[in-house]
Structure formats: structure tokens, C-alpha cells
């Protein structure tokens, strides 16, 4: 017997040691964390305990208290609610819940719970109830009085309704929510308030209708909130009808209703609704098309035609295709359909045709479709680059060239890369241009050199760019020596480096304006007519444009014009006008020869100035040839011109009034 008793005792002890409470471990950890004020861990422990023993009110209560410590009042409220549900006799929990409802803006619930508890004789609940109810009653009386004086006071109706709802005076709340909404139908949140109150009042049918109205159309937030309050099922027809009676201008609601009628086979009713939609928003292509189809279906061609025409002219291609299909017209080519590859090929072919016909916008549309359907077609990317370039949209062009430069096809990649690098400097923050033009002139028996290096700063889309510049203007001979009429030696060039800062405009139809200020530094130490460094201001406008088949292009005739108006301070603030024009023929590019391409042409040049100085007033003309050589840099161009000229001002001219001049030199420029 003793052994049996011992066994039973041990079994009981071991049972106690094992503890049948599944939440024991979690709770023990939670309480330990709570003692250490490690609330986050305590909360996690209580949650774990709840998962293991969900029906124990005390754990919900302890979790709620822990949540209160970290300020999670809403969650704490919900835990007290759960504890209250599990143990309705615990008045203390009910009070905690009610207080937290009050603190978390659920005043109506707080008032209801306090009201329930106070009826059991609880003084705390009584006081809390009065603290809530008294101000609500006062507020209602105050706003009712305010409305006596101004019955159309929107905010008074709104405030009164809100207070009445909190005091569970639902009928009063509904009346004033509705009045407020009628005063300001744009305040669609009031539809939600009205629906919520009607629902609480048990007016479910009306509530659903008003919530249905709120759930369609804008604002999106109200629509989403209304959706929460609506039943999960799809609305009934009569609910649509009632919602539309309440909110007749709700376009989205009416359109959905119209489609619902169509779905139900009620074509006449649907047509009536689409007719209303068309009157409400004549530009809405979807309802216009639908009304057109309905009329077409019942043989009202005259009624349907203008509507369908409107859709065909509209911007919705998909809809337009449906109209075409209904009217048995050929379809527009679509972005997506059949297979992407096939669409891409069709699009490329259409783009080619459009390009040949000169329809650039169409070509762009088709190339875009081709690219969309076959995004790794690098040849299409390259074409898009060229097309944008031709359309003067270089920012787009550069994007496509950059992409096409990644092509596995070396030819495509090379061409794209070259094009990209040609365009890229224009979009870089800094753009440095260098040009040089050395040439020999038989007339002066001298070699001249002109050169400039210039760095521009791009200021976004601002049409003016500042720059810094260094120029060189000089010659080998230096001076012509003194003459009878001019005892001082005459210098043939400025023989200087000119350093300056300036601004230039972006070209507009080939015209550029510029101005710079700087210092001119002479490099001829023996030169005595100017100081070693003199201020230099210059500026002007320049126009340069070529027509026809220019060098670098295909063979054919061409014409080029360079017109410059220049102000130069060092020439006694003179203003000079230069006109240089060439008309001639460009030969085809050779495939392998050293001579890459050549032009022959005739020059027509003229120069004039403000001060009427002889050296700046002459005209000249004569033949010339320009060419590029294969193994030389691509920015290098050689030229030889034979010119016959005549001075148009001969006052102080120490020379003959006319001249021959053979000029030979090369032009070299690059941009980085």
C-alpha cells in the first residue's frame, strides 16, 4: 500500500512538474521580461501564450497592460475587448475597455459600455458616462440653436450629425448628415457617414444604396471605405437604381449600371443609360462607342455613325479597332497581338515605307511598335536613333544610339557608337570645341593661322551657354613693311592669343549669337602698335547653313552659306560683316581610294565694315576645291581657292584696287 501511495504521489509530483498548461513557458518568459521592463519581449511572450491558450481572458488582459506601457492603445483596447468577450463578468476589464475606446476615438462605444456598467451601480462608470454624455448633449443643443439662426450652415449640420452619432441619436445624425451632404454634394465622405448611420439604424437597404453610390467614382479613398462597408455580394439592380436616384451625376456608377443592364440583355434600358452618359460626358469614348454599337445593332445607322466616327478619330486605338471591326473596316496595326516577332517585322516594314515616303511621325510610331515587340532588336534601336536625329530630337536620339551601341552586330554597334559620340558632347555639361584653319595666301605671300579652343557649359535647357575661350590669330610674315602712304609697318594679322569668357546662344534656325570679353596677348615682342596685353571685346551673330548634298553625304549639288556680323573692340570698335558662299557639286565617297570625298564649287564672298576701312571692304569670287583624305582625321578638310577680288573702298588703299589670291589650307575641328 505504501508503495502504491508512493507511486501515486510521485506520479502526481511528476504531473505537476510537467505542468499541463501549454502557455506556461511563454507566460513565464513574458512576466520575466515585464519585470525587466523589456516590453517588446513581454508582448511577444504574451502573444505566444495567446496562440497556445487563446481562450484565457487573463492573458489578453496582461497583454493589454503591456501594450499600454508602450503606447499601443488601440491594440490594448482590442485585447481588452477580447478579454471582455471571454469573461463578461469582469467589470474591471469592461471599464478598461471603455476608457480606451474613449481615448482611441471610439466615443460612441465608450459611452455605450459605460452606460451598461453604470446601470449596475458602478460610480466610476456613472461619472465617465456623464463626462461623455454631458458635453455631447450640450454640443447638440448648441448646434441646434446655431441652426435655428442659419439653417444652411454646413458645418453646423456636420458637427451636429457627428455629435448625435456619438450619442447614439442615429435618426438625428442621419438627418443632418444628409442635409450637410445636400448642401455640399462634393463632400462625398458624408455619403459614407450617412450609409454607416443608416446601417446602424437598421435601414440596410438604404444604407447599401448610399454606400454603392459612394463606392463608385472619386475620390478613391471614399470609394475604398464604402467598399469596406458594402456586402461582399455584387449590388442588385434596384440598388443601382436607388443609388442613381440619390446621386444622379455619378458617372462611374451609371456606366457600371449601363453595362450591367447590357449584360442582363436589357438593351433598351442600357441604351437609355448610355444616352445619359453621353450627355453627361460627350468625350468619354467608351460610353460613346457602346451607345454607337447599340444603335448600330438596332439598325439606327444615322444615330450610330457620328458616335462611331468620334471614336475612330479618338485616341483609344483599341476601342477604334473594335469600331472598325463592327463597321467591317480594316484594322489598325496593334501594339500587341498575334506574335510579338510577327508584329515587329510588320512594323519594321511599315516604318521603312513611311520613311521612304517621308512620313516621319508614322515611321516613328511603327519603329516604336517594332521595338516594343522585340526589345532586343538593335537595328531598330539604331533606326530610332537616326529617326529622332532627323526629327531634331537629339536627346531621344542619343538614348537609342547608346542602346544600339551594345549590339552584338559590330557594324550596328560601330555606327551607333559613332553617332552617340557625335551627339553626346551636345548634352554633356562641358563641351570643348577645337578648330584650326591654317592657310597660305599668295596675295600676301604669307601663311596665316586661326584657331580657337572653347569650353561651353550646358545649363540644362537654358538657351544660353557661358564659355571660356582661347583664340590664336597670327601669321608667319608679320608685317608688310611701311609704304609711302602709311609709314608705319602694316601688320597682316592680330599676332595674338586672345583669352576670353563669353556667352553663346543655342542655334535657332542656324543663327547663333555670341559675345566675349577678354585680354589679347601679343606674341610678337617687337610689335609696338599695341600693348603687350590689351582688353579685347568681341561678339556677333553667325548664320551657317548648307543645302543639298553636303560633304559627308551623297553625291549631288550643294550650296553653303556662312554669314557673320562681328564686333571687334581692338579694331576701333569696328563692326564687320562677312558673307561667304559656295555653290557646287559633291562627288560620291570613294570606297578605298586615299581621296575619301571631294567637292568643286564657286565662291562668292563679300566683306564690309562700319568704319569704311579699305581692307575690310571687298568682294571676291572664284573656283575652289575641297576634299577629305581617308587616312587623315575625320574632322580634317583640305581646300584650295583661286579668287579674283576688288576693293569696294579704296580711300587710303596703298595697293591696287583689285587682286588675285590663291588660298590653300586645311580646316580641322573636333569636339569633346
Partner 1 sequence: MPSHIKHGSVGQALSPANRIAAAALLFLMTIAAHAATLTYHIAGDDAGPWPQILGSIGLTAAAGGPANLVVVRNVAPGSVPQWMQRITEGEIVVLEGESELAQALGFEAGKKHVVVRSMVDEHAPKLPIVWKTGVDIPVFAVPADARIFATERWEGAPLEAAVRRGSGAVLWIAVEPGRQGYERFPYLLQALSDLGMSAPFRSERLWAFFDGSYRSRVDLDYFAERWRKAGIGVLHVAGWHYYESGPANDEYLRRLIEACHRKAILVYVWLELPHVSEKFWADHPEWREKTAILQDAQLDWRKLMNLTNRQSFAEVSKGIQALVTRFDWDGVNLAELYFESLEGADNPARFTPMNADVREEFQRLHGFDPLTLFEPGKTDAAQLGTFLNYRAELAGRQQEEWIAKIETIRESKPNLDFVLTHVDDRFDTSMRNLIGADAARVLPLLDRHDFTFLIEDPATIWNLGPERYPKIAEKYQPLTKQTNKLAIDINIVERYQDVYPTKQQTGTELFELVHVAAKAFPQVALYFENSILAPDLPLLAASAATVDKVQQDGRRLIVDSPYGVGVPWQGPALVNGRQWPVHDQTTLWVPAGPNIIEPAAKDPALRMLDFNGNLRSAAASPAGLEFSYQSNARAAAVLNKRPQKLEVDGNSTAQPLLESGLNFVILLPRGQHVVTISMTPRPLDRP
| Residue ranges that bind partner 1, judged by CB under 8 A | 37, 39, 68-71, 73-74, 103, 139, 142-143, 145-146, 149-150, 153, 155-156, 219-221, 223-225, 227, 375-376, 399, 403, 406
Smallest separation (angstroms) from partner 1 to the CB of 224: 5
Nearer to partner 1 (CB atom), residue 218 or residue 300: 218
A 10 A CB-CB count for 189 gives: 16
- CA gap 315, 285 in Å, rounded: 9
Residue 446 burial (C-beta neighbours within 10 Å; 0-12, 13-18, 19+): middle
Smallest separation (angstroms) from partner 1 to the CB of 238: 24
A 10 A CB-CB count for 365 gives: 17
CA nearest to 274, candidates 293, 260, 255, 261: 255
Check residue 491 and report its DSSP letter.
Answer: B
Smallest separation (angstroms) from partner 1 to the CB of 178: 20
Nearer to partner 1 (CB atom), residue 67 or residue 307: 67
Half-sphere exposure of 604 (CA within 13 A, CB side): 8
Smallest separation (angstroms) from partner 1 to the CB of 140: 13
Smallest separation (angstroms) from partner 1 to the CB of 252: 11
List b or e across 398-427, with b for residues whose CB sees 16 or more CB atoms inside 10 angstroms: bbbbbbbbebeeeebbebbbebbeebbbee
Nearer to partner 1 (CB atom), residue 380 or residue 551: 380
- CA gap 179, 502 in Å, rounded: 69
Smallest separation (angstroms) from partner 1 to the CB of 401: 12
Nearer to partner 1 (CB atom), residue 177 or residue 450: 177
Smallest separation (angstroms) from partner 1 to the CB of 165: 17
First to last CA, the chain: 108
Does residue 259 sit in helix, strand or coil?
Answer: helix
Helices 57-69, 91-103: axis angle to 10 degrees equals 40
Nearer to partner 1 (CB atom), residue 193 or residue 620: 193
Nearer to partner 1 (CB atom), residue 143 or residue 274: 143
Nearer to partner 1 (CB atom), residue 17 or residue 220: 220
Smallest separation (angstroms) from partner 1 to the CB of 138: 8
Nearer to partner 1 (CB atom), residue 199 or residue 225: 225
Nearer to partner 1 (CB atom), residue 372 or residue 564: 372
Smallest separation (angstroms) from partner 1 to the CB of 459: 19
Smallest separation (angstroms) from partner 1 to the CB of 12: 41
State the pairing for strand pair 595-609/618-629.
Answer: antiparallel
Cell of 79: 485585447
Smallest separation (angstroms) from partner 1 to the CB of 76: 9
CA nearest to 274, candidates 308, 209, 262: 262
Using omega within 30 degrees of 0 as the cis cutoff, is the peptide bond preceding 539 cis? no
Cell of 54: 487563446
**Contact (Cβ atoms closer than 8 angstroms) between residue 307 and residue 289:** yes
- CA gap 617, 576 in Å, rounded: 9
Smallest separation (angstroms) from partner 1 to the CB of 73: 8
Three-point CA angle 96, 130, 71, nearest 5°: 30
Does residue 182 sit in helix, strand or coil?
Answer: helix
Nearer to partner 1 (CB atom), residue 71 or residue 556: 71
Nearer to partner 1 (CB atom), residue 149 or residue 330: 149
Smallest separation (angstroms) from partner 1 to the CB of 376: 5
- CA gap 308, 399 in Å, rounded: 39
Smallest separation (angstroms) from partner 1 to the CB of 372: 13
Nearer to partner 1 (CB atom), residue 147 or residue 521: 147
- CA gap 432, 423 in Å, rounded: 13
- CA gap 549, 546 in Å, rounded: 8
Nearer to partner 1 (CB atom), residue 145 or residue 555: 145
- CA gap 96, 119 in Å, rounded: 17
- CA gap 58, 261 in Å, rounded: 55
How far from 65 is each of 37, 98, 259, 392, 649, CA to CA, in Å? 12, 14, 53, 70, 105
Does residue 264 sit in helix, strand or coil?
Answer: coil
A 10 A CB-CB count for 487 gives: 7
Smallest separation (angstroms) from partner 1 to the CB of 298: 32
Measured in residues, the chain has a length of: 672
Does residue 69 sit in helix, strand or coil?
Answer: helix
- CA gap 242, 253 in Å, rounded: 11
Nearer to partner 1 (CB atom), residue 98 or residue 576: 98
Nearer to partner 1 (CB atom), residue 23 or residue 403: 403
Amino acid at each position: 500500500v505504501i508503495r502504491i501511495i508512493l507511486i501515486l504521489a510521485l506520479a502526481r509530483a511528476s504531473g505537476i512538474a510537467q505542468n499541463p498548461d501549454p502557455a506556461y513557458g511563454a507566460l513565464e518568459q513574458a512576466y520575466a521580461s515585464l519585470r525587466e521592463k523589456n516590453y517588446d519581449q513581454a508582448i511577444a511572450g504574451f502573444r505566444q501564450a495567446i496562440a497556445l491558450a487563446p481562450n484565457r481572458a487573463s492573458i489578453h488582459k496582461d497583454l493589454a497592460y503591456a501594450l499600454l506601457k508602450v503606447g499601443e492603445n488601440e491594440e490594448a483596447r482590442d485585447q481588452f475587448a477580447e478579454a471582455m468577450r471571454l469573461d463578461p463578468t469582469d467589470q474591471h476589464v469592461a471599464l478598461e475597455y471603455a476608457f480606451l475606446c474613449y481615448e482611441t476615438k471610439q466615443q460612441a462605444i465608450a459611452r455605450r459600455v459605460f452606460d451598461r456598467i453604470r446601470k449596475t451601480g458602478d460610480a466610476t462608470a456613472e461619472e465617465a458616462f456623464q463626462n461623455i454624455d454631458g458635453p455631447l448633449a450640450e454640443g447638440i443643443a448648441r448646434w441646434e440653436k446655431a441652426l435655428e439662426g442659419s439653417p444652411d450652415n454646413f458645418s453646423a449640420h456636420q458637427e451636429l450629425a457627428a455629435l448625435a452619432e456619438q450619442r447614439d441619436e442615429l435618426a438625428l445624425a442621419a438627418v443632418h448628415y444628409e442635409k450637410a451632404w445636400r448642401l455640399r454634394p462634393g463632400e462625398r465622405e458624408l455619403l459614407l457617414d450617412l450609409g454607416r448611420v443608416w446601417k446602424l439604424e437598421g435601414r440596410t437597404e438604404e444604407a447599401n444604396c448610399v454606400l454603392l453610390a459612394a463606392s463608385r467614382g472619386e475620390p478613391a479613398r471614399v470609394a475604398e471605405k464604402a467598399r469596406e462597408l458594402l456586402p461582399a455580394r455584387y449590388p442588385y439592380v434596384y440598388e443601382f437604381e436607388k443609388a442613381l436616384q440619390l446621386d444622379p451625376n455619378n458617372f462611374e456608377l451609371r456606366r457600371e449600371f449601363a453595362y450591367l443592364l447590357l449584360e442582363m440583355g436589357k438593351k433598351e434600358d442600357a441604351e437609355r443609360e448610355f444616352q445619359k452618359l453621353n450627355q453627361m460626358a460627350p468625350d468619354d469614348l467608351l460610353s460613346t462607342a457602346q451607345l454607337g454599337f447599340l444603335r448600330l445593332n438596332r439598325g439606327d445607322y444615322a444615330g450610330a455613325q457620328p458616335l462611331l466616327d468620334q471614336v475612330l478619330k479618338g485616341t483609344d486605338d483599341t476601342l477604334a479597332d473594335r469600331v472598325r471591326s463592327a463597321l467591317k473596316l480594316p484594322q489598325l496595326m496593334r501594339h500587341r497581338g498575334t506574335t510579338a516577332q510577327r508584329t515587329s517585322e510588320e512594323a519594321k516594314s511599315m516604318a521603312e515605307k513611311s520613311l521612304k515616303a517621308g512620313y516621319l511621325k508614322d515611321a516613328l510610331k511603327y519603329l516604336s511598335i517594332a521595338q516594343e515587340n522585340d526589345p532586343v532588336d538593335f537595328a531598330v534601336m539604331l533606326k530610332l536613333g537616326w529617326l529622332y536625329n532627323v526629327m531634331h530630337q537629339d536627346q531621344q536620339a542619343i538614348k537609342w544610339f547608346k542602346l544600339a551601341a551594345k549590339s552584338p552586330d559590330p557594324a550596328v554597334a560601330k555606327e551607333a557608337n559613332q553617332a552617340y559620340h557625335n551627339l553626346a558632347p551636345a548634352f554633356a555639361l562641358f563641351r570643348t570645341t577645337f578648330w584650326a584653319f591654317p592657310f597660305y595666301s599668295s596675295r600676301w605671300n604669307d601663311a596665316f593661322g586661326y584657331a580657337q579652343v572653347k569650353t561651353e557649359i550646358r545649363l540644362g535647357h537654358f538657351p544660353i551657354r557661358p564659355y571660356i575661350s582661347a583664340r590664336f590669330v597670327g601669321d608667319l610674315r608679320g608685317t608688310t613693311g611701311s609704304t609711302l602712304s602709311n609709314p608705319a609697318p602694316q601688320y597682316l594679322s592680330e599676332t595674338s592669343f586672345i583669352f576670353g569668357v563669353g556667352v553663346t546662344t543655342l542655334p535657332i534656325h542656324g543663327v547663333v549669337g555670341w559675345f566675349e570679353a577678354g585680354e589679347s596677348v601679343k606674341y610678337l615682342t617687337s610689335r609696338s602698335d599695341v600693348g603687350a596685353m590689351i582688353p579685347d571685346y568681341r561678339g556677333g551673330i553667325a548664320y551657317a547653313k548648307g543645302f543639298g548634298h553636303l560633304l559627308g553625304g551623297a553625291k549631288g549639288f550643294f550650296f553653303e552659306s556662312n554669314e557673320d556680323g562681328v564686333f571687334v573692340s581692338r579694331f576701333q570698335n569696328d563692326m564687320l560683316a562677312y558673307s561667304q558662299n559656295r555653290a557646287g557639286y559633291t562627288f560620291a565617297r570613294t570606297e578605298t581610294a586615299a581621296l575619301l570625298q571631294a567637292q568643286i564649287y564657286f565662291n562668292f564672298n563679300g566683306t564690309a565694315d562700319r568704319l569704311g576701312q579699305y581692307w575690310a571692304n571687298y568682294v571676291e569670287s572664284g573656283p575652289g576645291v575641297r576634299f577629305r583624305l581617308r587616312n587623315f582625321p575625320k574632322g580634317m578638310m583640305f581646300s584650295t581657292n583661286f579668287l579674283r577680288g576688288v576693293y569696294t573702298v579704296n580711300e587710303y588703299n596703298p595697293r591696287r584696287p583689285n587682286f588675285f589670291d590663291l588660298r590653300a589650307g586645311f580646316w580641322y575641328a573636333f569636339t569633346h
